[in-house]
Structure 1
Amino acid sequence: MLKIDGLVLTVTDPDTGRETEILHGNSITLAAGEAIGLVGESGSGKSMTLKCILGIEPSGARVEGAIELDGTDMLAASGEELRRIRANDLALIAQNPHGTLNPVLPVGRYLVEGMSDARNMSRADARERAADLLRQVGIADTERVLNSYPHQLSGGMLQRVVIAGAISGDPKLLLADEPTTALDVTTQAEVVAILDEMRREHGLSMIFVTHDLDLAAAVCDRLAVMKDGEILEIGTPEDIRDRPKTEYTRALMAARPMLYPDGHPATAPSAAPGAGSDEEADA
């Protein structure tokens, strides 16, 4: 479905003319209906990889290698071909939903106009489908949300709206660029569950960009660990967790926050009945 082979991205400093290689010959294959997570620290090249797929790399950048989507050479495609592919086959969910939606227009305009333009639907049909999509992502009060402005909705609600917009065009590939970064932990779990459900229900392939290994493991079939613009290893979540191949992956795993680094208190010997100190017994 998607094949990336030897992807190299080089950017040029407009002031000095100095060239810097950002991505170093990375290769990924993604099957139809499969989800792969790009994980790694900030600056590792995860989002730049998505930009290369979309054809929105920085101005003056040079992209080498191959990117094929269903047999179409994305790097050789004309501007018109790229616009058609972005409208029909690709969808991006950005990390900040406030940056996706126009703050001076109601949410309904974002969904309705997008479908009217891309699918040649009447506004009435587009609004009906928009309401149905909102229900699919767990929004019951669809009319209120469609008539609301972005500042009137929570971050979690806005991200659901963006997910609804992303699947409205029935894309083949969903690009999720840290879609839960701006959300609290509880809302993160809800949004990730919705993403996973929508992907499976609509048969989408997905690239999920995140620095959170556990989050990626929850929704992805495979994980690709990136550092300094290079993919170090690719494997199932179990392989990455239990059999990491590189020192960096092991360090990344060790850096995950843990509530009880030394084990849950209930499993400690001192937690056994009668194991407390005399002072504790007198308390």
Structure 2
Amino acid sequence: MLTIDNLELSITDPDTGRVSEILRGNSLTLAAGEALGLVGESGSGKSMTLQCVLGIEPPGSSVGGRIELEGRDLRALRGEELRRTRAEDLALIAQNPHSVLNPVLPVGKYLMEGMSEARSMPKARARLRSSELLRSVGIEESERVLRSYPHQLSGGMLQRVVIAGAISAQPKLLLADEPTTALDVTTQAEVAAILDEKRREAEMSMIFVSHDLDLAAAVCDRLAVMRYGELVEIGTPEEIRDAPQHEYTRELMNARPKLHPEEA
């Protein structure tokens, strides 16, 4: 469904001319309905990989390689074709929901605009669908939330809203960029479970970015470990847990908190 072939990304500093190599010739595939976890420390290139898929790299970027979605070269899309692909086939769930939601608009406006853009849905139908979506992600007071502004809702509630918005257009590929990082541990588990459930129901593919190896393993079919912009290992959660092949993967496994320290 998604093929990334020899993806490279470098960024040139406009002031100094210094070139930083961010992604180093990475290749991977994602099947229809599959969830892949991109894991690794901060700065390893996880989020930049998602930005390349969406075509929203920082200024001064130079990108090499191919990214194909169902045979279409995403890097070659322009204009209306690119806009429609982003609206209909791809959906991003950001780390911080406050960066997605407009603080001066009610939540309902955000959800209804998304459906109107992607599906040309009439306003009345879009509002009804928005209410249904909020209930489906665990928000029972959907009408109140639709009228609420972002500052009136908790972080966990806002992330549920963003998930509802992401799945509203029934995209082929969900790009989840550390969607639980800003939440407490209990809410993290709840939001991750909702995201996994909705992805499976709609048979969507997903790339789930996280520095939390255990969380990614709980919601993904395979894990891809990144370090210094390079994919160093790909395997099932069981393979990564029980028989990590790369030294860095072993270091990540050993860095996980242990309930019984004597197990180390």
Query: Normalized against structure 2, the TM-score is what?
Result: 0.98
Which residue is equivalent to 1:85?
85
| TM alignment of 1:36-55, pairs within 5 A | 36-55=36-55
| TM alignment of 1:10-89, pairs within 5 A | 10-89=10-89
Q: Distance in 2 between matches of 1:157 and 1:261?
A: 35
Which residue is equivalent to 2:129?
129
Which residue is equivalent to 1:250?
250
Which residue is equivalent to 1:97?
97
Which residue is equivalent to 2:184?
184
Q: Give the stretch that moved more between structures: 110-119 or 243-252.
A: 110-119
Which residue is equivalent to 2:225?
225
Unaligned stretches of 5+ in structure 1? 264-283
Q: Distance in 2 between matches of 1:22 and 1:249?
A: 19
Larger Rg: 1
Which residue is equivalent to 1:112?
112
Q: What is the CA-CA distance between 1:208 and the residue it aligns to? A: 0.2
- Percent identity of equivalent pairs: 75
Q: Distance in 1 between matches of 2:196 and 2:114?
A: 23
Q: Distance in 2 between matches of 1:107 and 1:31?
A: 33
Which residue is equivalent to 2:152?
152
Q: Tell me the amino acid that sits aligned with residue 206 of structure 2.
A: M
Deviation readout 1:122-170 (Å, 9 max, x if unpaired): 1110000001111111111110110111111111111000000000111
Compute the RMSD of aligned alpha carbons. Answer: 0.9
Decide whether the 8 Å contact of 2:84 with 2:118 is kept in 1.
no
Which residue is equivalent to 2:208?
208
Q: Give the stretch that moved more between structures: 109-118 or 130-139.
A: 109-118
Q: What is the CA-CA distance between 1:58 and the residue it aligns to? A: 1.1
Indicate the SS of the match to 2:224. strand
Indicate the SS of the match to 2:98. helix
Decide whether the 8 Å contact of 1:12 with 1:19 is kept in 2.
yes
Indicate the SS of the match to 1:262. helix
Indicate the SS of the match to 2:245. coil
Q: Tell me the amino acid that sits aligned with residue 159 of structure 2.
A: Q
Decide whether the 8 Å contact of 1:178 with 1:209 is kept in 2.
yes
Query: What is the total number of aligned residue pairs between the two structures?
Result: 263
Decide whether the 8 Å contact of 2:54 with 2:86 is kept in 1.
yes
Q: Tell me the amino acid that sits aligned with residue 76 of structure 2.
A: A
List structure 1 segments (4+ residues) > 3 angstroms apart after TM superposition: none
Unaligned stretches of 5+ in structure 2? none
Q: What is the CA-CA distance between 1:212 and the residue it aligns to? A: 0.3
Decide whether the 8 Å contact of 2:33 with 2:206 is kept in 1.
yes
Q: Distance in 2 between matches of 1:112 and 1:255?
A: 43
